[in-house]
Amino acid sequence: MRYLCLICDYDGTIARDGRCAPSTVEALRRVRASGRKLVLATGRQLAELQEVFPEYALFDRIVAENGAVLYEPASKDGRALAGPPPPEFVDALRRRGVQPLSVGQCIVATWRPFESTVLEVIRSMGLQLQIISNKDALMVLPTGMNKASGLQVALNELGLSPHNTVGVGDAENDDAFLTMCECSVAVANALPALKERADLVTVGSHGAGVEELIEKLLSEDLAGLAPRVKRR
């Protein structure tokens, strides 16, 4: 096998409206049964993901909080890959009326209408933080932290190279880890810019698109995509 690991985004990719269809779960089980590894790379906080996706233990590693938290379901071992958000930063956002505001181990998340407010607070406090977009959502993380940085730690633990990975996603925050993967795939509902850069755009959207990719992975190890995979 050339592709030893499948890396998936959650919302908008394997999940539609926050839920993963039973057929997609079954397709993921088939990937595991083939001897390949599964990694989930999501912007969600771990506890939130576990609540909406009971089958999370299908994955060998979960890169949560957009790369800032790494979790191994088999051992239930999780750790933050960055420091916590400064309390004074969170307090300043609340005083400025930024709502809803979600605070994780490392991430602070809100919605796009508050982008200018969040940026003003970061600048006024002189913080080394970055804003990452995810369609209508905004995520604030330490500078340099993204899904690719978290994925690299996960692959190191699994003893795998990015050259043996295929990744699938749908939004801006997936671009970092898709660029890292040997083969990048965008589901049909992905943002146009992501589809332009992908090696494959699925016909199906959301989980149906992932199932389509899995069929190609299991039947031919993506041999048909070899002429398109040029980045590496």
Domain architecture of the chain: domains with CATH: 5-81+145-228 (3.40.50.1000), 87-142 (3.90.1070)
User: What pLDDT is recorded for position 231?
Assistant: 60
Q: Alpha helix locations (H) across the chain? A: 22-33, 46-52, 87-95, 115-125, 147-158, 175-180, 192-197, 206-220
> Tens digits of per-residue pLDDT, 18-50?
999 999 999 999 999 999 999 999 999 999 999
Query: Rounded to an integer, what distance in angstroms lies between the CA atom of residue 59 and that of residue 55?
Result: 8
> Tens digits of per-residue pLDDT, 138-158?
999 999 999 999 999 999 999
Q: Please check the confidence at residue 229 and state whether its pLDDT lies above 90.
A: no
Average pLDDT over residues 196-200: 95
What is the CA angle 80-91-65, rounded to 5?
25
Which residue is it, tokens 């149906």?
208
User: What pLDDT is recorded for position 213?
Assistant: 98
User: What pLDDT is recorded for position 63?
Assistant: 98
Count of beta carbons in the 10 Å neighbourhood of residue 195 = 17
